[in-house]
Chain A
Amino acid sequence: MASEDERRGGDHRELASESERLADPDRDLAGADRDPADAVRMTHLERRARLLLRVYPAVYRRERGEEIIGTLLETSADRTGPRLRDVCALFVGGLKAIAAQNRQRTVGANLRVAVMAGLAIYTAFWFATYIDGVVLGFVWIGPGSAPPIGWTTWAAAMTALLAGATVILAWTAPRVGRLAGALAAGAVIVFAVANHDTLLAHLGQVLGLAGLAALAPRAWHPSRHWLWLPGVLAVSPLVELALGYGWLGYTWPRYALEFSLLAVAAAGILWTWIDARLMFAVLTFFALTAVQMAVMEIPYGLVDPVMLLVLLVTTTLTLASGWLLRRQSARAIRASQ
């Protein structure tokens, strides 16, 4: 906007005095002569305002956050908290700012982040089940039974750690992330061979890790907000452990994982009109899962019609969300030209 300002010119001194005229001195929020009670109330109000601003993208908050908070405090000077309509407007404004931010990126960049997120969900989901296995290996289950802690438990733990590191580092330190991804993929293969599994049974995991390593961008960092997605899935078994194993039944961790994923999918559907990347990410997960399950059936010569239907639906929805994502990105490119 500064360049626009320079282009169009303007008498800043005159406008500043106009602005000063409109700035009511009684509303000087940080004034030293304010009543201490007012200061406390403003602190509460400001804290809530800052919380509301978390909906906005970080870049937007850095640019406009203080200005918005200043205006909000001025309009709510006689209150301890923002009005409901202010809360709603800031929430909607934050969503629109996110959408506007997406429109500044190319289709390729948006797709890259979406696919990375999908692969991260896949990696977190399957390696959370590894953690689940590790927990089973270490924790006493039921009276009179203590499962042996074998090398497979340690190998699973090491593989899960490497996979977790790959997910985090792909977002934060791509070079190290690529190395961690390669190591994790290698660990999966070693684990499969040593465990007398077929490599096809771990194809999805290797593809997920290799994809994360390959897609981690060198020149820029995707928003770390995406890490909450795999984080929810990875933490599920740990939450289960904290609650006490067996308390809610042996199959509870599995349900926790699946319900977490369904919750993410539901959020993705609702969020799609703002940002199709989440939906695309979830569909990438389902597509990779469907491919893995289909591949598992190849050695047995089975063709499950349900699996074919799942593949068809997933592929259709992935294409639809990809089209929407392209539309969200392309509009912005036109607007910026």
Chain B
Amino acid sequence: MREPTYFVLAALLDGPLHGYAIIKRAEELSGGRVRLATGTLYTALDRLADEGYVRLVSEETVAGRIRRSYGLTDDGASALRAEAQRMAEAARIVNGAATSPRASQLGRRPRTA
């Protein structure tokens, strides 16, 4: 799962959001690292909807324009959790290796960052 996709799904964890709110929430959650362009967001939403990870929840008219809110499906929530788990395990490999006895045997200084 690519990082923008991950944060689009993560943005919807607390409940359905419309396009602009997803962009702002994804930026906030990623500490400003993921700044989704409008085109990227809707391409991702189309794909995630096709995959069954995201669904259209509501439609309303704001300032004469249709505004749609999207929510996470059960499959989407599961995929997000699985990805988070995978990343945590991947991080554990690196962090664990840095402090393991074998790293010391090889003459490496464990990272403290």
Q: What count of chain A residues pass the 8 Å CB interface test? A: 43
Within residues 260 to 275 of chain A, which ones have a CB less than 8 A from any CB in chain B? none
Q: How far is the CA of A8 from the CA of B64 in the complex (A)?
A: 28
Task: Say yes or no: B39 contacts A92, CB within 8 Å.
Answer: yes
CB closest residue in chain B, given A30? B63
A91 at interface, CB cutoff 8 A = yes
**Which 7 residue pairs spanning A and B have beta carbons closest together?**
A89-B39, A89-B37, A93-B39, A71-B19, A90-B39, A30-B63, A22-B21
Residue among B19, B49, B63 with most chain A CB within 10 A: B63
Give per-residue flags for B40-79: 1 if the beta carbon is below 8 A from chain A beta carbons, else 0. 1111001001101001111010111111110101000000
Task: Say yes or no: A15 contacts B62, CB within 8 Å.
Answer: no
Given contacts A28-B63, A335-B50, contact A15 B58 (CB under 8 A): yes
Residue numbers in B under 8 Å from A4 (CB-CB): 49, 52, 55-56
CB closest residue in chain A, given B23? A75
Q: How far is the CA of A29 from the CA of B69 in the complex (A)?
A: 18
Task: Say yes or no: B18 contacts A91, CB within 8 Å.
Answer: no
Task: Say yes or no: A23 contacts B67, CB within 8 Å.
Answer: yes
Within residues 55 to 98 of chain A, which ones have a CB less than 8 A from any CB in chain B? 64, 66-72, 74-75, 83, 85-86, 88-94, 96-97
B residues near A (Cβ < 8 Å) are 15-21, 23, 37-43, 46, 49-50, 52, 55-58, 60, 62-69, 71, 73
A31 at interface, CB cutoff 8 A = yes
Which among A74, A83, A86 is the interface contact of B20 at CB below 8 angstroms?
A: A74
Task: Say yes or no: A1 contacts B63, CB within 8 Å.
Answer: no
Residue numbers in B under 8 Å from A5 (CB-CB): 55-57
Q: How far is the CA of A19 from the CA of B37 in the complex (A)?
A: 20
A249 at interface, CB cutoff 8 A = no
Task: Say yes or no: A70 contacts B66, CB within 8 Å.
Answer: yes
Given contacts A1-B56, A31-B63, A66-B65, contact A93 B15 (CB under 8 A): no
Task: Say yes or no: A30 contacts B39, CB within 8 Å.
Answer: no
Supply 28 A–B pairs (Cβ within 8 Å), ascending by A: A1-B56, A2-B56, A4-B52, A5-B56, A10-B55, A19-B18, A22-B17, A22-B18, A22-B20, A30-B64, A30-B65, A31-B63, A67-B19, A68-B39, A68-B42, A70-B62, A70-B63, A71-B18, A71-B19, A71-B23, A72-B38, A75-B38, A86-B39, A89-B43, A90-B39, A92-B43, A97-B43, A335-B50
- Tell me the interface secondary structure of chain B in the complex: mixed
Which among A2, A18, A68 is the interface contact of B38 at CB below 8 angstroms?
A: A68
Which among B46, B58, B64, B71 is the interface contact of A16 at CB below 8 angstroms?
A: B58
Q: How far is the CA of A72 from the CA of B37 in the complex (A)?
A: 8
Q: How far is the CA of A5 from the CA of B65 in the complex (A)?
A: 20
Q: How far is the CA of A231 from the CA of B57 in the complex (A)?
A: 44
Seed contacts A1-B55, A19-B16, A71-B38; 19 additional CB < 8 Å A-B pairs: A4-B55, A10-B55, A16-B60, A19-B58, A19-B67, A22-B17, A23-B21, A23-B62, A28-B63, A31-B63, A67-B68, A71-B18, A71-B20, A71-B42, A74-B20, A88-B37, A89-B37, A90-B39, A94-B39
